[in-house]
Amino acid sequence: MRSVHSRLPLLLAPAALLVLAGCATDSASVVPAHDEGAVWSYDGASGPAHWGELADDDALCGTGVRQSPIDLPEADDGPELDLVGSGPVRGATADNGHTVQFTADDGASTTIDGDALDLVQMHFHAGSEHAVDGDRFAAEFHFVHADDRGALTVVGVLAERGAHNPAYDSYVAGATAGTGRESTVDVEAMLPDDRSFVTYDGSLTTPPCTEGVRWIVFEDPIELGADQLAALEAVHDHNARPVQPLGDRIVRDRL
């Protein structure tokens, strides 16, 4: 598959990724970079309630009708996601001012429902951005993928306080290093054992809040140790956008 790393700038969450977190030449085709110089934040006059007012390019944050995150329905244990990772992936981990982003080296991929997608980046939010039946979790990780047109699929993993999770050690170490460093991400190892999921059409969760992003969020959370959560929260805490109206969208348990 043709790599999109050279065509997609660093994401936040989506984007920024999730979060951080666009597609080819349509509304979801370009995901701008956001760094420490960006004017938006998670509180005050530059917080989520005002993102749509900060720049013309960010207007969708206030006017969009297919925005993310959302309050997801209670888990119903539907079919499990057919996902195959490419194994441990090397890349650079760096703080972009809003989260800590792991940017995968070229060639990293994940096969979802038979479609090979480029793994572009992953990042975290503390606490979670998505809620489940009104309840939010300690953290949420976004694995941002792109197809050969640049269309984004973000895989969301919710996290709760519990047992130490060695699959996240390399990323957490990179997040707390203070400067950019090499890290390793193994998508499959970082997912919950039960892979039942929900999916819906949404957006980046940070400015410019581009719509047309396919979200896949696992119903079961993973566990992270108290030390791992504390390490992440010491770097960024309360970096989560509030849930957005569902509108006429349908949350499904099948792709």
Name the residues annotated as catalytic.
98
**Helical (H) or strand (E) element with 231:** helix 226-235
Torsion angle of the four alpha carbons 107, 152, 156, 33, in this order, in degrees rounded to the nearest 10: 80
Query: Could you give the CA distance from residue 18 to residue 206 in angstroms, rounded to a whole number?
Result: 9
Q: Which of 124, 67, 89 minimizes the C-alpha distance to 242?
A: 67
Residue 68 sits at the vertex; the CA angle it makes with 150 and 213, to the nearest 5 degrees, is: 15
- Tokens encoding 143: 């694995």
CA distance readout (Å), 209 to 106, 120, 149, 175: 25, 18, 19, 24
CA distance readout (Å), 23 to 5, 121, 161, 210: 13, 15, 35, 9
Q: Residue 48: left if φ>0, alpha if ψ -120 to 50, beta else—which one?
A: alpha
